[in-house]
Amino acid sequence: MRGLTAKQREILVFIEDFVHHQGMAPTVSEIAEHLRIKQATAFAHLRALQRKGYVDRSSKARSLTLLRSSVPRHMSLTLSIPVLGRISAGLPLLAEENRESIIQFDPSLLPRDAGGHHLFGLRVHGESMRDLGILDGDIVVAKHVSTASVGDIVVALVEGTETTVKSLYVKDRQIELRPANPQFSSQLYAPDQVLIQGVVVALNRTY
């Protein structure tokens, strides 16, 4: 069979990951949204994949069927997660300008409620979350959400300038970002000073 373009391979891997997590095929709209392309472009890529024998589809919703994988079996069950650099208020969280690298992550290590969310990685600097096992140089994997529950470990943008990883609490109607190291103190902010960008769901560490 003919080879795949980079975009077709990316789409095929997304379909494989989506089916693995959700138990059903993605729609053309979901593919377009994930890859940030127009639906017509996504549809054209799917037609090409169908011609090349990688997928089959009908006019029904979620009718995509994988006929063959684009990558070896041990790789097809990994997620490609972007690792972000410094996050500011000026760009969308997952904008290309924020990306430093890509990590491959085993989806079986993620909680079930991580499915369906955009995932991103963020490299940790410092030891403020040490007692929760998050060390300097680790990469936390977070699902991109704008709200969180008390006690969640969150990625938060503080005062539009500083990105931090802390546990989220509420104290005296203020947002408390609590470290997990007695050498550091909790920081209190007005609700409008803190923008939740994600909830940590996993950890990636290289020895």
Residue 16 to residue 100: CA distance in whole angstroms: 24
Catalytic residue, candidates 69, 76, 88, 128: 128
According to the 3-state scheme, what is the secondary structure of the chain?
CCCCCHHHHHHHHHHHHHHHHHCCCCCHHHHHHHHCCCHHHHHHHHHHHHHCCCEECCCCCCCCEECCCCCCHHHHCCEEEEEECCCCCCCCCCCHHHEEEEEEECHHHCCHHHCCCCEEEEECCCCCCHHHCCCCCCEEEEECCCCCCCCCEEEEEECCCEEEEEEEEEECCEEEEECCCCCCCCEEECHHHEEEEEEEEEEECCC
166 has catalytic annotation: yes
Catalytic residue, candidates 166, 171, 185, 186: 166
Spatial CA neighbour of 164 closest among 131, 149, 133, 142: 142
Rg (CA), the chain: 19
128 has catalytic annotation: yes
Spatial CA neighbour of 125 closest among 164, 168, 89: 164
Q: What amino acid positions are annotated as catalytic residues? A: 128, 166
